[in-house]
Structure 1
Amino acid sequence: MLCWGSMAAGQLGLGCLEGAVWEPRCSLAFSGRGLKEVACGQQHSLFLLHDGSVYTCGSNSCGQLGHEKARGTPELVGALDAQKIAAVSCGQAHSVAVNEQGQVFTWGAGSGGQLGLGTAEEAVRVPRLIKKLYEHRISQVMCGNQHCVALSKDGQIFTWGQNSHGQLGLGKGKPCSLSPQPLKSLSGIPLAQITAGGDHSFALSLSGAVFGWGKNSAGQLGLNDEQDRAVPCHIKFLRTQKVVYICCGEEHTAALTKDGGLFTFGDGSQGQLGHDSTNNEALPRRVLELMGSEVSQVACGSHHTLAFVPSSGMVYAFGCNSKGQLGTGTRENAQSPQPVSHREQPHTHEKCTISKIHCGGDHNFLLYCSEESSVAPEDFRVINHTKSISVINQENLDTWRVRLLESTDSSTTNDIILLFSSTACWNASFLDQSDDGHFKTNPKVPGIDLKSVRLLFETLMKPAFSRLLEQATKSFESLLIPQLPCSPPDVEAMRIYLILSECPALQDSKNYISLTIPLALAILRLDTNPSKVLDNWWSLVDCSVFSRLVEMYKSIVVFLLTGGKAVLIPVFLESYINATLKLLEKLHKVNLKAQHVEYNQFYIPDITSLVDIQEDYLKWFLSKAEIKMRSPALQSSVTLCAYPFILNAQAKTTMLQTDAELQMQV
C-alpha cells in the first residue's frame, strides 16, 4: 500500500508523525496480509482485509475508530471479531461496516442521526448493529459528512442522518432522520450504485440513468443551477453518456463512462474538476486533458480528485494540494490532471501493478500488488455483482430450487419472495446486452431482451421448479402487482410491464382473477406519459408477443361472460369485463399504427352466442341518449357495442339492423 496527504491525526497509519506526506510513501502495515479495501473519513481510515477483519487509525474524537488503542497505527476493531465484514465506509467522523449477511454496523459521531440507531448520541465508541435494517440484506452503504445511503439486494434505497440540504431525498420535512427510511421515489429502478458527497447523494441505474439530490450550492448535482433538491432528480445531461460509476467530494462530483471518459461538475474553486480553471460547473463537463486515454478508476477527496489510466499505469491528480494530497511532489494546487509521483513505488525490486485507489478528506491510499500475483487492476466500469442488486436468472433459479429442497428454514422462502416481489430485481434481470442496447433505454426503447425473459419463464414452468413458480405467483399476486405505481419514476422502472406479460401463468384461467386482470388494471392506472411509453414499446415487440397478449385478454372476456357470474359478485364482474375490454382497446389502438396482427384477430367469435347483441346495442344507445332504463336487467354499465373492434361481421350486421330499427322508432 502507498499513502500520501495529511497525517495530522495519524490517518495514514504511519505512526505518530505529524504534518503531511507530499509524495506516495510505502506503508507496510498489512504487508502480505491480503488487504481488500480502504475507506477514508475526514481524518480517519478503515482497512478491510480479505479475512473479513477491520483495522482503523486516525482521529478518534467521536469514537470513530471503534477501539481505544494508539491512533497512529492501524489497530484491529475487536468488537467486530464475530463478523465477517464484506464492505466498509466512512463519513466525516463516523464509520460503517456491512457483514456478509448484509447486516450493518455503525459507530463514531452520531449527533445528526448518521449512525441510524434511532438515537442522536454524541459518540458511540463500539460498533452497534442497525436493527431497523436487520430484515434487509444490504449490499452497499455510502456515507456523506453526516448522512448515509444504503442499497439492499432487492433494490431498495434507505437513507438516514442529517437532512439540512435534502440529502436524504425524503423531501423537506425533517431536519434529520435518526433511523433508516426507505426512499420510495426511486422504487422499481434497477440500481447499480449509490454514493454520497459532503451533503449530496447520487443513485445510478444499470443503464446509466443518474439521479442526484441534496446540496447543490456549487452545481454539484449537475442540473445546470444551484438550487438544493430535497428529492431525487434525473440528471438528463448524462442520460446518453453511458455512465457506469459516480463518486463525490465535499461539493463536487465525478462520473465515469463505459468508454473511459471522465465528467466532473460542482465546486471547482481548488481546481478539483480538472478543467484548467477554478470555476464551478453546474453541468457535467468532460475532462479534456484525459480524453486520449481511458480512465478505469476515479476517486474524490474533499477538494481533490484522482483518476487511474490502466494503459499507462498512471494515476493523475488535480485539485487542492495544501496537505500534499495530490502526491505530485510539488506544493501547488493543480487545475488540470498531473501525474502522481512514482518515485517511492517499490519498482526497484519487483514489478508492481496498481489495483485500487482510495481518497479521504485530505489523504489517499493506493493498493498495488506484484505483477506475478496476476491480480488485474480493478475496473470501476465493470459491475461488481456481489455489491449490486440480485437478478433473477437461470443460475439463481437453480440455486434457490436446491435451497428450497434442502432447507425447511423460512428465511430461504422469505429471501426468495422478497426478490420475486421486487420490481427493481425483475427490471435488472434481462438487459439487452447486444451492442450495449440497454444503455439506449428511452420512451421508445425498453432495453430488455424478451427472448431471455421467455427462456426464464419456460424454466420456471418445468415440474422441477413447481415450488419456485408457486412462490413467484404468490409474490406477483400479493406484493408486486398491487404495488405497481401510476407514475413510475423512470422508463427503466417500466420494463416490468413487458416482463410480466411474458409469464405463462398469466395465460392460465385459474390466475385470471388474481394476476392477469390486476395487471390490466395496473396498466390502465398508468398516467398519460408512462401509458404512452408502454404503447411505444408494444408497437416494437415481435408480432407473436403482441398476438399472444391479444389472445390472452380475448380469452378473459369469454371467461368472464361464461363463468364469471358464478365466481364474481356483479359489481366486480362488470369492472373486470370493463378493464379487459379497455386493455384490448389500448392494444387495438397500438395495432392501428404498428399493424402487428390483422384487424380480424381482435374479433371474439363467441360473442354472438354469449351476449344478446340487440339488447347490448339498445343498452349502449340508451346510455348515449342518457335514458335510464327501469328494467334492472338492462342497468349494467358494460356494453360490448362500445368496443366494435371485437365484433365480427355477424355481430356487426345485427348491430346495424338494431340501429336501423331504433332510428325508425325514434
Structure 2
Amino acid sequence: MGSVVTQIACGRQHTLAFIPSSGKIDSFGLGGNGQLGTRSTCNRISPAPVKGPWAAKSIQCYFAEQRYCVKRIYTGGDQSFAHYQFLQDSVVPDDFRILDPRRHICTLTFELIQKWLSHAQGRLPHEISDEIDLIFSSACCLNGSFLDGSHPDHYNTSRKYPGVDVNLARLLLHRLSQSPQVSQLVAASLEKNLIPRLTISPPDIEALRLYLTLPECPLFTDPNTYITIAIPFAKATICLKEPPLKVLCNWWSRLEPPVFLRRVELYKDVVVYLLRMQKVGVAPTEQRVFTCFLQTSLKMLEILHSVNEKASQIIQYDKFYIHELDYLIDIRNDYIMWIQQQMYSPLDGPVTMCKYPFVFDAQAKTTLLQTDAVIQMQIAVDQAQRQNFSSMFLPVVESVNPCLILIVRRENIVGDTMEVLRKSKNVDYKKPLKVIFVEEEAVDAGGVRKEFFLLIMRELLDPKYGMFRYYEESRLIWFSNKTFEDIDLFHLIGAICGLAIYNLTIVELHFPVALYKKLLKRTPTLEDLKELMPDVARSLQLLLDYPEDDVEQSFCLNFTVTEENFGATEVFELVPNGTDIAVNNSNRLDFVNAYVDYIFNKSVAPLFNAFYAGFHKVCGGKVLELFQPNELQAMVVGNTIYDWEELEKHTEYKGEYWAEHPTIKIFWEVFHSLPLEKKKQFLLFLTGSDRIPILGMKSLALVIQPTGGGENYLPVAHTCFNLLDLPKYSSREILSEKLLQAIDHNQGFNLV
C-alpha cells in the first residue's frame, strides 16, 4: 500500500519490482547467486533497492554520462536483467497495469456473455468452455470484473471503497442463467476450482472483491447448489483472518439495503433448507457434516447481523427472523439444550438456535419466555413440595405454598401488595401467581390476575405519587428525579413488570423504548430522547447540524440543564464545572451526549436501579438476552396494532352460535361500527386489558356462546377465559344498547 509498482518480475526464488516515481528497482527473496543486485549473496526478506552504477532522479537514470530510462525488468531462474533505453520525450517505462489487448486477464463483460449465449442452443465449443472455466476458476479474473465505472481508477480500492459495481455484477451474472449449459459449467468451476482455493489471508484488499460480487450469481440461491457453493463460500468467508474480514464487513456496511438484504435472505433460506433436511431425517454418518453446514450458515448470518447492528440497522432487525422455526424445530427443547450447554460447555454437540437469537420472531421468543417461566416455576414448586415433605418429620414447621398468593383489597392494593412481596423470598417470585380480591368470589384462572395488574399499575403511576414525570407531547412517562416516595415503590413497580411478563399478562406502562434498552443493559441515544422529549431532541439535533462556526455565540449554552420540580426551577451541571464550560463547535457532540446521559441515566440512577433490581428479581436470566428492546416492550405492555377483522376471523363459537348465526352477524355489525375507544373498552371488558399481546389479535382466542334468559340481560364476560356470554338479541339496536351498558360497567369479578 506504499509506492506504486508498475512491473513485477519473478524468478525461481526471487522477485524484482520497478517503482517509476523514483526509477528504482527493488528486489527480495533468495540471493545466493547475487541475483538480488546487493553485491552480496545474502537473502532479503523485505524489498530494498538494487545497487548499480547510477543515480536515480524521477524515472531518469544516468549511465555512462548519458540519460537512460528503465523500460522493462526481467528475471531468470537465478538471474536478473534490466532493459534501459536512451531517454527521449516519448520514452516511458512499460506499465503492466495498463491493459494491453495482446496480454491481459480475461474478465466478464456483456460482449463475452453474449458470445457464450449465442452458442447456447447447441454444444458449446471447447474455446467457450475453456473461457468459462478460466474466468470462474480464477479469483483474479472475477476480481478484475464488474469494476465501478464511476471510479475509473480502480486501484483506489480501500477499506471503505471496494471499487466494484455490485448491481452490474448482479445483471451480468443473471444473464448467464439464461443458458443451462453455461450455468452448469460455471457451477463446476466454482465448486471444483475457485471456492476450494480461497485462502484465509488474501494477498491484498483488491482480492476481496469477489466476496461482494460472487453471491449475486443465481447459482447461490439454487437449493441444489447450497451444499456445493453457498455453504463452502460461507465457510471461506467466516474463516478469513481478522484484518480481511474486517475490511469485508466494512464494505457490507455500505451496501444498499436491498443488496444487503439479499445476503441475509440467502443464508436464511440455506438454514431453512438444512432444518427441513434434518426434519426429514439425516443419516447418523452424515450428522456431523450436517451440523457443520448448519453452524457455518448461522455464523454467516451472525456476522451479517453484527454488521447490521454496528451500522445502525441497514435493514430492520426483524428481517433476520426465520418464521419457519416454529414448526421446523422444537423450540422448548432447543432452549433446554442451550441452557445445558451454558452450564456444561460441551466441546461437541448439536447446534442450538438459541445461540443465534436474532433469528427468532416474536412468537418463538414468546415460546422461549414461556418455557423459561415454566421451568423456573416448576423448580420453585418442586422446592416447596420437597420442603413440605421434609416438614412432615419435623415438629411444627409451617408448610410452603407452591404459588405466590396475593390477597389484596381494592382500596389498598399498593400497600397490601408491598406487604406480601416484602415478606416473600426470591424463590417465591418464581412461583405461579394467584390473586385474591378480598370479599370477592372469583377464583383466579387468569382474569383476576389481569385486573390486578391493571389496577395496581394505574395506582402506582398516578400523578399524586410524583414518582414519574408525564410528557404531554409524547404522552410517555419517565422517572422523576425529585420524588418524596419510598424507593421501595420503584422496586415494587419493577417486580410487578417482571411478574406480568413471567405470568404472561400485559400491563399498562407508558415508558419509552429507552427503559427496555436499559433493562437489557444497552445505552439510550438521542433517538430515544426524540421519542420521549421531541421538542428538546429537535433542538439538540439542530445544534449538531448547525453549519456555521459561531455555535457559542448563536446558541449561548453551557454544560448545564434546567429543570422544573414542584414549581421550582433548578440548574444541574452535566459535567464538573459545567456552568463555566461554553458549548462550542468542537464540544457540541459532547454536550448532546452528556444531556442524553443525564436524562436517561445520571438524574434517575437510584430510582432506576431499584426498578431494575425488582424486575430482574423475577425476570433475570439468559432468556432476556434473546430479546430486542422493542420486543421486550411488547411483552410488557402489549401493542396497539389493532386488526379487528383478524379478531373476528379467529373468534370461536359454542352452542347454537356459528359465524352466520343472525345474532352473531348483528354483533359484528355493531362492533365494527363502534369508535376506537369503545372497541378498546370492549377488549378491557373481555380480556382485562385494552392492549393486545405481542402475538397479535389471533392470540386473544375470543369465544362467544349463547346464554339463557331474554333480551333484558346484559352480555357477560368471563375474563379468565376471554369468553363472552351473548344473549340472543333480536335487533341491532337492542344489541348495541346492551353491549355498551356492559362495557361501561366492567370492573369487579363475580361468579356468573
User: TM-score interval w.r.t. the shorter chain?
Assistant: 0.3 to 0.5
| TM-score normalised by L of structure 1 | 0.47
| TM-score normalised by L of structure 2 | 0.42
Higher relative contact order (CA 8 A, sep 6+): 1
